[in-house]
Structure 1
Amino acid sequence: MTAQLLIGPVLRRVVDDRATLWLETSEPARVRVEVETAGAGSAQTFSAYGHHYALVVVDGLSPDSANPYRLFLDDRQVWPEAGAEHPPPVIRTRAADDRGQPVSLVFGSCREATPQSSRRRLPPDALDAYARRLMADPTQHPDLLVLLGDQVYADETSAKVRRFLRRRRRDGHAGPENQVVSFEEYTKLYLESWRDPEVRWLFSTVPSVMIFDDHELIDDWNTSASWRADMAREPWWRERISGGLASYWIYQHLGNLSPDELAADPLFQKVSAAEDATELLREFGHRVDEPESAENTDVPFQWSFALDLGRTRIVVLDNRCNRVLTPGARAMLPPAEWDWFLDRAHGDYDHLVIGSSLPWLMPPAIHYLEAWNERLAESHRPWAAAFGERVRRAFDLEHWAAFGKSFAALGELFRRLGEGRPTTEGRRVGAGEVYAAPASISVLSGDVHHSYVARADFGHAMTTPVYQLTCSPIHNEVPLPMRPLMRIAWSRAVAQLVRGLARTLSVHKPALRWKRLSGPYFGNAVGTLRLEGATATARIEGTTKDGDLVEVAAADYHP
């Protein structure tokens, strides 16, 4: 049969004169990419669970150029499509020496499927709106699209997917009626979401990196140890976690790797060489869900990743899969991965950008509530701990503040970096070694279905400004009754009231304060962070009823 292009091409990493393109096809095929100016690449598809994928490395691109390209399956051009109304897809490269070149990042999280297939009517999709604007003005082309979680919703499915699931359940495939379980079911989510015409074009011409949050697997994924124990008792959970992580590895994680990292990745080499990689990925999905603990510090698989663009370092953290959930030793990252993060957070760069699906700085009242709840859930009194656990899970109290040691450690890292001093915790620093303070530190986040800009205050003059930039959702919405509660959570009076509750359990005041500068905004939105020289400019734009973008939050900062 003739192979068809099902999803893609999705442009992922562009590094020097090389780029990677990801795609899914209906049948096995030889994939070839031809660049009009200079550069080419080819690869054979690999197969798993009856599906076919390719990751093509394009070599020989010219520096500082826009390179239109064509994609072929078995010598038949499939992209751009014949008669396409959208502009030709291009691969843009940076200058050979890009140290003085600005960096532009577009970011956001939480995107349900397009309006045509959505389970409910939602305001206009911000990613669609951004794509249309870029089509009209390609000079605004960003360097990277950073998607910070909930790229698909495994537990909140559209009417179309629910019909598919009902047929599957009638045919004997076990699982919740309206939630996906198997790898096959996960593929329907990506097929539905990533074939949106505007988003498909955007993915084909703007490099992207991605990290999961909970909805790629299930709401409140890895909230606590007891949550994991309850889920393990569900007869369908083992297949769900295996299929979910395997599909995430294929659809999202692989593209986060540079060409050199792909060449050195043992799992990718095994999968791409196998005639059928189904069993390899099924076993992988089971293995990488092994829980971390204070005693077992080995990381089964590291989802966090890092990259440099010019004088900007970007570190994207896994806030979900590798959490340490042992009461009394909870941590957002296990020790080995935290050490890796410390190493990447130091170095020769001007700007540090942290991608964290969960906001580090939340509305103060929510921060104190989560800190109080963590302490209550770890009480030595069984009834109090059980009550704390019920509250934690009922109200999704599982952000950085609910992992208090990690929250404090991240703040201490930023303080030391901002003062130009080395951080010795967990890494060896030479005698007298001092790092220059970055021009800025920005934490990009999503998850909370409202957008805002906040600045951290460490209590003394510090060279480096530290900002929390939260942009969520891209295409979803927060229920109307919740919006007033989120607004008052920023109130100083309410924060003081909840802080009083936290003090009853001896919760200490954080070593830093933070102030909201813009927001909260509750519509669909997309964020932009531009880094040039010593300055940083952040903009969050929301969608109008007509699907246009308007600025709703902003910050300009420099040392």
Structure 2
Amino acid sequence: MNALSLPEAHTADLPLVLAGPLLRRLEARRLVLWLVGSRPLDARLQLTWDDPQRGMVELDLPLDDSRCQHLAVGRHACLHLIDVQLDEPLPADTFIYYDLAIEEDGATLAIADWAPHLLYPGQTRPSFVRRGRLDHLLHGSCRKPHHPSKDGLLQADVLIEASREQPGKRPALLMLSGDQVYADDVAGPMLAAIHQLIERLGLYGEHLDGATVSTSEALYAHPAGYYRREDLLPAYTANAELRERFFGGVRKPVFTSANAHNHLVTFAEVLAMYLLVWSPAPWRLIVPRLPELPEHLTARYHAEEPLIRAFVADLPQAARAMAHLPCLMIFDDHDITDDWNLSARWEQTVYSHPFSRRIVGNALLGYLLCQGWGNCPDAFATELPAIRDLLAAPDHQQRLIAETQDAIIGRLLAFNRWHYSLPAQPLLLVLDTRTRRWRSESTLSRPSGLMDWEALCELQHALLDEPAVVIVSPAPMFGVKLIEIVQRLFTWAGYPLLVDAENWMAHRGAAKVMLNIFRHSRTPANYVILSGDVHYSFAYEVHIRHRDSGPRIWQITSSGIKNEFPRRLLDWFDRLNRWLYAPHSPLNWFTKRRKMQITPRIPSRSQRGERLWNGAGLGQVHLDERGRPSEIRQLNADGSTPTRFEATERDELHG
């Protein structure tokens, strides 16, 4: 049986809901939920809470076109974005119970009927808490399904279950700061599941230009469709550079993950991936089967199978956590492709070829519909009509119209409102560090700055006169100096892609402007910077030298949710960084941040003075009334005692 065949037992009717609901943006007068149904759903949102003066308050809100937008993404898959504006504010710091009552064949079905895995024992419907302050945050990045660790999202589920009777202990927010999916690093069994789900749901196909296959169906059936997708590039000489740099060639490629031979290509593949990493329901519709592979690739496929099975077994708990906590997200590179927009040369190479441009565009369109839209629905109001037209009119073979798809991709590549904010105490600012880059004009292959001058000016304007702020920067603003130096050396040697040479200090102009923002007299007194990306966790306290009045900055990095750094290599980096950049080392005077004093917090489980914590999990930060961290912890995915990042006086400051 090939990867697209379906056994007879799986031809029954599809479930009403394939994924979700995910609780997304939550404000006093606004509630956003995301889900995917097997068809457009006739539903009502029901909210209930106990008010001390009025008693039990119940709202029953029909989800008409003003409150719910539908986008069909296949014959049997319809994305729903529920965006409810409320006449009166939701209460703060109390449990609010919600349900989605769906009308089907004359019956009304509740979440307990169609998604019982989203409920805790004894619960009849999910709940959320709108916290009055952002004083308790969970954050993390880098959730790779076939990494051998446990899934760190389960620690959010454990935390919610433990605080079911205490609304004040519910986190205010789950912030996912990048690599929610790995479009460029897909296990064989996951790709087989993706292809079966595409067939089962009738997700729309597409025409492909610039590849040796002309349609998505031809891609799925091609012998090189598993583990060898780089072979589908055109063979002619004009694309030699793209071929060499694509999907995992001999050199570090433009699509740069070393494991990118199963890189997602089509829009349908991207959508199916989101369904399969966020919900257990689609897995019940398919039985992934081994495709036809050479012997050595068959062995690799079988080695990956138990990792994917373990990931799927944990999905009910991960989905339950995301139904109870407001979840905000921002992309990093793997959501689209490794080293996305790393340099002007990268952009020039990838966007000038129709096949690679389509691959990036499909992943970006998938991000918009599955992540970005729920972050800030208003930002995409001008883009949705064209996307709706594309999805509403596939051709007679259920493929998207290529010209329309390419036009939308062109608009998304030029779109500049991926960043967003959440008005709260403290203010939350989520940065786009991938698409508005400060490109090198002198050497196109040099790494671009993570934000250009205009974007940084907008950031400074948003910060003016705020007492405190939480900034989400997918890449740490203050990272490990030795690793940044290694990246700089490879850049000088002409190999920036080989070491993922993208950090805030890699571009002189962007680094200078960013550091000047912190020194501005009208920007906040207290900054908390939440980051991920690097596959290890750490916490720094940062001060401006010779200024007692502030600001105070905390760089808090949690990575990955389900990924880790090579352990022995990180131990060496950690140890050498402590030796070479000790407080009085003259090397500190050659850094761009020499005017900053940086004090590492020490992990509580450190055995030899390590500053870096290498273990999958989820970050947890408690903030006091001034927006300063009162506790920083890493909730370890293996369920062991959480790791605290403790302030210490014995470590002098280093630059």
Which TM class, normalised by the smaller chain length?
0.7 to 0.9
Residue 384 of structure 1 corresponds to which residue in structure 2?
none
Residue 538 (structure 2) aligns with: 452
Give the corresponding residue for 2:24.
12
Give me the whole-angstrom Cα distance separating, in 2, the residues matched to 1:500 and 1:202.
45
Whole-angstrom CA distance in 2 between matches of 1:81 and 1:539: 38
Deviation readout 1:189-231 (Å, 9 max, x if unpaired): 2122111111111111111110011111111111112223343
What is the aligned counterpart of 2:272 among 184, 188, 197? 188
AA in 1 matched with 2:481: P
Q: What code does the residue aligned with 2:58 have?
A: A
**Structure 2 residue aligned with 1:144:** 173
Please tell me whether residue 63 in structure 1 is matched to residue 74 in structure 2: no
Change (3 A) 1:193 1:495: farther
Match of 2:221 among 152, 167, 171: 171
Give the superposition deviation at 1:540: 2.3
Q: Give, in whole Å, the separation in 2 of the partners of 1:152 and 1:352.
A: 27
Report the Cα offset of residue 288 of structure 1.
Answer: 2.7
In the alignment, what sits opposite 1:287? Answer: 411
State how far apart, in whole Å, the 2-side matches of 1:38 and 1:107 are: 32
Q: Please, what TM-score do these two structures have when normalized by structure 1?
A: 0.80
Aligned ranges 1:183-332 → 2 under 5 Å: 183-195=267-279, 196-232=315-351, 236-257=355-376, 261=378, 265-268=381-384, 271=387, 276=392, 283-290=407-414, 300-309=415-424, 311-328=425-442, 330-332=448-450
Letter matched to residue 634 of structure 2? E
Maintained 8 Å contact 2:476/2:532: yes
Query: How far apart are residue 414 of structure 1 and its match?
Result: 1.2
**Within 1, Cα distance between the matches of 2:387 and 2:112?**
28
Tell me what 1:356 maps to: 473
Corresponding residue of 1:488: 575
User: Whole-Å Cα distance in 1 between the matches of residues 69 and 324 of structure 2?
Assistant: 22
CA distance in 2, matches of 1:132, 1:4: 27
1:397 and 2:501 correspond: yes
C-alpha distance in 2 between matches for 1:541 and 1:26: 37
* 2:627 corresponds to 1:516: no
Measure the CA separation in 2 of the matches of 1:66 and 1:538.
Answer: 24
Structure 1 CA distance for aligned equivalents of residues 633 and 584 of structure 2: 30
1:365 aligned counterpart, secondary structure: helix
Report how far residue 135 of structure 1 moved: 1.2
* CA deviation after TM superposition for structure 1 residue 161, in Å: 2.1
1:110 counterpart residue number = 142
**Matching residue of 1:543:** 636
CA contact (8 A) 1:244 1:285 kept: no
Whole-Å separation in 1 of the counterparts to 2:478 and 2:176 = 19
Kindly provide the amino acid, as one letter, of the partner of residue 97 in structure 2: P
The secondary structure found in structure 1 opposite 2:365 is helix
Amino acid at match of 1:454: Y
What CA distance in whole angstroms lies between the structure 2 residues aligned with 1:30 and 1:326? 51
Contact 1:453–1:516 (Cα < 8 Å) also in 2: yes
Distance change in 2, residues 1:492/1:345 (3 Å): farther
CA contact (8 A) 1:31 1:45 kept: no
Structure 1 residues 72, 544: closer, same or farther in 2, change over 3 A?
A: closer
Task: Supply the distance in 2 between the matched residues of 1:449 and 1:270 (Cα, whole angstroms).
Answer: 37
Structure 2 CA distance for partners of 1:555 and 1:236, relative to 1, 3 Å? farther
In the TM superposition, what is the alpha-carbon distance from 1:67 to its structure 2 partner? 1.7
Q: 1:123 corresponds to which residue?
A: 149
Contact 2:456 / 2:514 at 8 angstroms: preserved in 1? no
Q: What's the RMSD between the two structures over aligned residues?
A: 3.2
The AA in structure 1 aligned to 2:453 is P
Structure 1 residue 32 corresponds to structure 2 residue 44: yes
Contact 1:454-1:468 within 8 A present in 2 as well:
yes
Q: Which amino acid aligns with 1:345?
A: L
CA deviation string 1:279-336 (max 9, x = no partner): 666533233325xxxxxxxxx3221111122x20111111112213233494322333
Distance 2:91 2:192 in 1: 48
Any conservation in 1 of the 2:535–2:614 contact (CA below 8 Å)? yes
Does the CA-based 8 Å contact 1:89-1:204 persist in structure 2? yes
The structure number with the bigger radius of gyration is 2
Instruction: Give the conservation status (yes or no) of the 8 Å contact 2:543–2:551.
Output: no
User: Which residue matches 1:379?
Assistant: none
**5+ long unaligned stretches in structure 2:** 1-12, 49-56, 197-216, 231-260, 280-314, 394-399, 603-610, 650-655
CA separation of 1:495/1:327 partners in 2, compared to 1, >3 Å: closer, same or farther? farther
Q: CA deviation at 1:479?
A: 1.9
Secondary structure of the residue that 1:132 maps to in structure 2? Answer: helix
d(CA) in 2 for partners of 1:451, 1:500: 24
**Cα-to-partner distance string for 1:51-104 (whole Å, 9 max, x where unaligned):** 41111123356422322111133454252346555243113234xxx4xx4622
Q: Secondary structure at the residue paired with 2:33?
A: strand
From the superposition, tell whether residues 171 and 335 of structure 1 become closer, same or farther in structure 2 (CA, over 3 Å): same
In structure 2, C-alpha distance between the alignment counterparts of 1:549 and 1:30, rounded to whole Å: 45
What CA distance in whole angstroms lies between the structure 1 residues aligned with 2:101 and 2:30?
18
Which residue of structure 2 aligns with residue 346 of structure 1?
464
Select the residue among 523, 529, 533 that pairs with 2:625.
533
Look up the match of 1:92: 129
Report the equivalent of 2:645. 553
Corresponding residue SS for 1:352: strand
Q: Call closer, same or farther: CA 1:91–1:145 in 2, change over 3 Å.
A: same
Distance 2:90 2:583 in 1: 57
Q: Relative to 1, partners in 2 of residues 1:333 and 1:148: Cα closer, same or farther, differing over 3 Å? A: same
The number of aligned residues is 497
**SS in structure 2 at match of 1:490:** helix
Identity %: 22
Query: For residues 232 and 495 of structure 1, what CA distance do their matches in structure 2 show?
Result: 43
Structure 1: how far apart are the matches of 2:113 and 2:468?
A: 39
Letter of the structure 2 residue corresponding to residue 63 of structure 1:
P
* Amino acid in structure 2 at the alignment position of 1:397: A
Distance 1:457 1:371 in 2: 25
TM superposition score normalised by structure 2:
0.69
Query: How far apart are residue 404 of structure 1 and its match?
Result: 2.5
Following superposition, the deviation at residue 397 of structure 1 comes to 1.3
Distance 1:544 1:151, change over 3 A: closer
SS of residue paired to 2:156? helix
Listed as ranges, the gaps of 5+ residues in structure 1 are 291-299, 377-386, 423-434
